[in-house]
Homo-oligomer: A and B are copies of this chain.
């Protein structure tokens, strides 16, 4: 019997993001698992995919994957074709890379079926040029022990190099908490009060992207003060901080993301 572990990307929004190859792979699998905690797919329902694929799908938790090291998935893959469904494009999250390494070390063949990713989706929706994005970063929910110092520093370093920053906003799926653009901006503004490097102020240009990949995605560029009061609707949300703008990029922000016309004066 063929034995392997296939990581299949679910894409961004609902079960229609699946590629024909992904659906075919699910239908041929002996066992199908899904994890839905690393990203929020707003309109994805396991029951709909079960109907579409005519397969039973087993939901796995963060605990299954991280504390128990995905052992039930690995055990399944030793006995037949096993699929792990993952939001977005698989193996972007470290958890999945860990699992893949463990599988290969146990002699299980692995392969990837790619799906649409939040990375390229936000880059495409922003209208800003791909090769001008620096490293990306996540703005985390903070408590006493953690701060948003890393995203603040990454935005600063990218800006110094003239580069754009893609900021993922934290999610705590178990608690159904998904960081909003307003929350992310507030956290960065409060870091600005401490650091005072003029990286994220009320006058800083940013681009908010909500529900990338859905039929009602929202993309809005404005100064932070404006974005704080803009209604982006339900999550997931992401943020982009532009670096130096090329004139086509400024044009894109104005035409495709309703940026104020004054953005065109920022072109260098």
From 186 to 239 in chain A, residues with beta carbon under 8 angstroms from any chain B beta carbon are 212-213, 217
Indicate which residue in B110, B121, B135 contacts A133 across the interface (CB closer than 8 Å). B135
Nearest opposing residue in chain B for A102, CB measure: B255
Query: CB distance B123 to A119 under 8 Å?
Result: yes
A20 close to B (CB within 8 Å): yes
A173 close to B (CB within 8 Å): no
Shortest CB–CB separation between residue A115 and chain B, in angstroms?
6
In this complex, how many residues of chain A approach chain B with their Cβ under 8 Å: the count is 58
A148 close to B (CB within 8 Å): no
Query: CB distance A248 to B114 under 8 Å?
Result: no
Question: By CB atoms of chain B within 10 A, which of A116, A123, A125, A133 has the most?
Answer: A116
Indicate which residue in B110, B120, B217 contacts A117 across the interface (CB closer than 8 Å). B120
Interface string of A22-38 (1 = CB under 8 A from B): 01100000000000000
Shortest CB–CB separation between residue A15 and chain B, in angstroms?
7
Shortest CB–CB separation between residue A21 and chain B, in angstroms?
4
Nearest opposing residue in chain B for A118, CB measure: B120
B residues less than 8 Å from A89 (CB atoms): 116-117, 120-121, 124
B residues less than 8 Å from A255 (CB atoms): 101, 104-105
Query: CB distance A213 to B125 under 8 Å?
Result: no
Complex: how many Å from CA A121 to CA B7? 12
Query: CB distance A92 to B120 under 8 Å?
Result: yes
A76 close to B (CB within 8 Å): no
A46 close to B (CB within 8 Å): no
Shortest CB–CB separation between residue A154 and chain B, in angstroms?
8
Residues of chain A having any CB pair with chain B under 8 Å: 9, 11-12, 15-21, 23-24, 88-92, 94, 97-98, 100-101, 104-105, 110, 112, 114-117, 119-121, 123-125, 127, 129-138, 157, 161, 163, 212-213, 217, 248, 251-252, 255-256
A selection of 8 A-B contacts at a CB cut-off of 8 Å is A11-B19, A16-B20, A101-B248, A104-B255, A112-B125, A116-B117, A134-B135, A135-B163
